[in-house]
Structure 1
């Protein structure tokens, strides 16, 4: 069964510059995304409760987006953090794109909600 692409959007009260630091650096990601984060040569090593995952940065644009590919995942699957601006309110929007089995999208979305809540706490939102 192939995974489906889904996106989540979160309004953020923070400058794109500061937000990008939390999305694209090992120190920033270590504040909210994983317990341990190391980065070497465009590869990020994430640790949670004794388990470890590796992801490669496959594309990025400073203060706009960063796209990661999990080691071992199908080549066309990724997860991405994108920083958009609402044209109406001019508010910063964090857009997360990920892949999951259709039956798992709700659970994965709740996990992202929890992670983003931790990010907002670190940002003072």
Structure 2
């Protein structure tokens, strides 16, 4: 069984926090850059992320408008239930440089950190293209 690790990365984005927030928090925004498709079940508040015809269910467990959103994946086994995988997308403004950054927290059992870095680099490139930043 693979041990879970926390991956973090920071990316500068040339867009305002208010413009970026819907892209990190809403199903429609996330589906434009993060996953092939994202749907939300309003009754259970469950997000379904689709990548390569596979679905992964998650709940938004925390968010603060114009600051961050955290999604926790629903457990697929007992180990996941005790130690759930999650990702958090945090928007930060640097007063000194007047720059906006998106900070990534990805806690998962992804074993190849170089591949995970490449994956996030590609996702953020897609986000930049989407928002023009």
Length-normalised TM-score, structure 1: 0.91
Q: Residue 50 of structure 1 corresponds to which residue in structure 2? A: 53
Q: Residue 93 of structure 2 corresponds to which residue in structure 1? A: 85
SS in structure 1 at match of 2:39: strand
**Following TM superposition, where does structure 1 have runs of at least 4 consecutive aligned residues deviating by more than 3 angstroms?**
73-77, 100-103
Aligned-residue offset at 1:16: 0.7
Map 1:1-125; keep pairs closer than 5 Å: 1-41=2-42, 42-72=45-75, 73-74=80-81, 75-101=83-109, 103-125=111-133
For 1:120 and 1:3, locate their aligned partners in 2 and report how far apart those are by CA, in whole Å. Answer: 28
For the 8 Å contact 1:56–1:68, the answer to whether it is kept is yes
Structure 1: gaps of 5 or more residues: none
Aligned-residue offset at 1:81: 0.2
Aligned-residue offset at 1:91: 0.7
Aligned-residue offset at 1:35: 1.3
SS in structure 2 at match of 1:113: helix
Aligned-residue offset at 1:40: 2.1
1:59-78 Cα distance to aligned partner (Å, 9 max, x none): 10001000000112354532
SS in structure 2 at match of 1:63: coil
Length-normalised TM-score, structure 2: 0.85
CA 3–25 in structure 1, closer or farther in 2 if over 3 Å, else same: same
SS in structure 1 at match of 2:98: coil
For the 8 Å contact 2:85–2:108, the answer to whether it is kept is no
For 2:110 and 2:27, locate their aligned partners in 1 and report how far apart those are by CA, in whole Å. Answer: 30
For 1:100 and 1:48, locate their aligned partners in 2 and report how far apart those are by CA, in whole Å. Answer: 16
Q: Give the length in aligned residue pairs.
A: 125
